[in-house]
Amino acid sequence: MTTTVPTAPAPTVEERLDQLSVQVDAVLEELRRQREDRERWAELGHDLAPVARDALATVSAELDELGADVTVDDLARLGRTLARNVRTLESLLAQLQGLADLGAEATHLAGPAMESLTARLQELEDKGYFVFARGGLDIADHVVTSFTEEDVRALGDNIVLILQTVKQMTQPEIMTMLRRTMVTVQEGEDHPVPPPSTLALLRGMRDPQTRRGLARLLSMLHTLGEAPAGSGVPGTTTPAPTGRPATTTTTTTPEEGS
């Protein structure tokens, strides 16, 4: 039994003409593209020609100027030197790359650090540190302009004594006594009272704290009355009493109206 395979019908003339027309259109499109490319390259060459001529003229002028200082042998020697130090140049380039990476990392970290510094400076400005610093500079300016060279020299000669005095003045007991004295004086200013009578003063003498205060006052007056060492003024230089005198004679005169 024989099987017959059907054959495709032959294309007609119109179909062949259509296929030929499509192929011709493709060829024409390709030719059009090639023509446009040639035109673009021609335009580019036309535009670059003056630039190239100027560049060549500049290079020629620079080479003419360098001709007296640089020769072909110098260039050849430079090339040989570069060829011999290729590894050194690679090492230097690697180090430069490392420095560039370090700079990039430092730049990346500098942003938050700068923001933190700016915030801290703003906080100090809000608290008044800079205003206080400017005022301190004005005070220092007044102090510097108020002292002469002799005053500064005398200050240097007595700086140890001044510091020792300040150290003694800043002891806790001294500061506590000064504070109590200022509080008492301030209370007397804020709430004035009539002056006490003589009898009231005598009754106050029985207070141990009052007698202790008078003893300290007498000791201070004794110290103020001492003659400086080596002054030649006759007087006692014995230490001032620190307690209550053994015998105290008090002469009182009654006040009028007491």
Identify the CA nearest to 243 among candidates 213, 206, 205, 202. 213
The whole-number pLDDT of residue 240 equals: 44
The whole-number pLDDT of residue 230 equals: 54
d(CA 189, CA 205): 23
d(CA 60, CA 67): 10
- Tokens encoding 27: 């060829």
Q: Does residue 97 register a pLDDT over 80?
A: yes
pLDDT one-digit tens code per residue, 8-46? 667 787 888 888 888 888 999 999 999 998 898 888 888
Q: Does residue 134 register a pLDDT over 80?
A: yes
d(CA 74, CA 69): 9
Query: What one-character-per-residue DSSP string does 156-186 give?
Result: HHTHHHHHHHHHHHTSHHHHHHHHHHHHHHH
- Tokens encoding 188: 């007397």
The whole-number pLDDT of residue 2 equals: 57
pLDDT one-digit tens code per residue, 203-248? 878 888 888 888 888 888 888 787 665 555 555 444 444 444 444 4
Q: pTM here?
A: 0.31
Q: How many residues does the chain have?
A: 258
The whole-number pLDDT of residue 229 equals: 57
d(CA 222, CA 240): 6
Per-residue exposure over 81-111, b if at least 16 CB sit within 10 Å of its own CB, e if not: eeeeeeeeeeeeeeeeeeeeeeeeeeeeeee
Q: Does residue 54 register a pLDDT over 80?
A: yes
The whole-number pLDDT of residue 175 equals: 85
DSSP letter (8 states) at residue 12:
P
Phi, psi of 148 (to 5 degrees): -90, 175
